[in-house]
A and B are shown apart, each in its own frame.
Chain A
Amino acid sequence: MSAEVKPLFWGAVTIGAYVLSAAIHRRLRSSWTSPLLLTWALCLALALIVHARYRDYLRGTHWLLVMLGPAITAFAMPIYEQRLLIRQFWPVLIIGAGIGSATAFGTSWLLTSAFGLPVSFRLSMLPLSVTTPFALEFARNIGGAKPELTAICVALTGLVGSVVGELLLNWLPPGSAFTRGSVLGMGAHAVGTAKAHQWGVIEGSVASMTMTVTGILSVVIGLIIAQCVR
């Protein structure tokens, strides 16, 4: 393949895999056929078969990654549509995100220590439950962390969280739409929020608010930790 064709190729493959995955998901409706998981698996399988380098893959799909910025901006709409609910329950939202964040940072540190992972890994994996842009901001501020490791682990958390989250919510006693949105936004940040958006407008707006509050909290926590260490 020539150097000019490759980028176009991976962009087309990713979108094609997504369209196919979405069609499969519409037929089967299982949390294991989540479009993200399927699209990723298909692209990864192909990339491993043809021995593609990440650099080449990214050159063709970078514009998709960039679209995450405008997509986050788009969450203004469900939040606006649910403004009355959020005005009424904002303390619940903030306390939920606060306790969720404290649990996430604490559990991550305890587990990575218990598994004997190196300090750079422990620091990189602190913001697991924080959406990528904020998590990267945290990793850059704190010092000693590896931002690209943070990016991968955060993405994996989103994926695991949106699949496990659905199973967990089916197993736990049925919660309110508000709670379901909060759980997905807290545990699986943007991927969970995308899933919550598919469930309903209340779930989606609560998840995006939870994700945003968690992100802002994490940057503040990161700046405080960096100050204390210095």
Chain B
Amino acid sequence: MIQTGKRLLLSSRWLQIGAVIGIWRLCVLIVHVLDLPLPAGVLGMLLVLVLLLSGLLDSKWLNRGMNCLLDHMVLFFVPAMMGVLNHRELFSATGLKIFAVIVINVLVVMTATFAVVEFLFFWRNRNER
């Protein structure tokens, strides 16, 4: 009985996704009770990471479910982006300005990050050897 349950959890990504949702729900509760300035998803991530690193939890119990969630993550952004339906002013001159700010901001931030990280990464890589 326990063996079957164990095999089922190991082989089913749906059950593992259910487990991840359960962990997240628990974290929603913790964040609410302790009034933490931290999203529940991030608390869940830190919690699972601590369990995995301490060896209390083997990664095989969650890796199928977690990878499946990550593979289809972009689907979960669509509802938030449909918020433009409520903001018709974004289809105007203001919207155009906002869009320009977003595009320029992305280009500047990404170029700066690229330069800094690429430099530091190779510098540290060389010093380690």
Contact = CB atoms under 8 A, between A and B. Distances in A.
Q: For B77, B98, B128, which residue has the most chain A Cβ atoms within 10 angstroms? A: B77
B12 interface: no
B71 to A, nearest CB: 7
B105 A80 contact: no
A15 B101 CA distance: 31
Main secondary structure of the interface of B (DSSP, over half): helix
Contact of A67 (B38, B47, B69, B124): B69
Interface in B91-129: 94, 97-114, 116-118, 120-122, 124, 128
Contacts of A89: 121, 124
A139 interface: no
Nearest to A48: B85
Interface string A131-166: 011100100010000001101110111111100110
B20 A74 contact: yes
Interface residues of A, number: 103
Q: For B82, B84, B103, which residue has the most chain A Cβ atoms within 10 angstroms? A: B82
A39 B24 CA distance: 26
A203 B21 CA distance: 25
A172 B118 CA distance: 11
Contacts of A190: 73, 77
A149 B127 CA distance: 45
B85 A104 contact: no
A194 interface: yes
A73 B105 contact: no
Given A39-B75, A88-B128, A176-B121, A183 B113 contact: yes
A178 interface: yes
Contact of B27 (A40, A54, A73, A198): A73
Interface string A51-66: 0111001100110110
A123 to B, nearest CB: 13
A165 B106 CA distance: 8
A74 B83 CA distance: 25
B78 A64 contact: yes
A89 B121 CA distance: 7
Given A77-B67, A183-B117, A160 B76 contact: no
A149 B113 CA distance: 25
B41 A117 contact: no
Given A74-B66, A74-B70, A81-B59, A111 B101 contact: yes
A171 to B, nearest CB: 10
Interface in A59-118: 61-62, 64-65, 67-81, 83, 88-89, 91-92, 95-96, 99-100, 103-104, 107-108, 111-112, 115-117
Contact of A70 (B21, B46, B84, B112): B21
20 contacts: A35-B74, A39-B75, A40-B81, A57-B85, A64-B78, A69-B39, A70-B20, A73-B41, A74-B69, A76-B49, A77-B67, A80-B52, A92-B121, A96-B116, A111-B105, A152-B90, A187-B106, A188-B106, A197-B71, A212-B42
The 5 A-B residue pairs with the shortest CB-CB distance in the complex, in nearest-first order = A72-B41, A73-B44, A133-B39, A76-B48, A74-B66
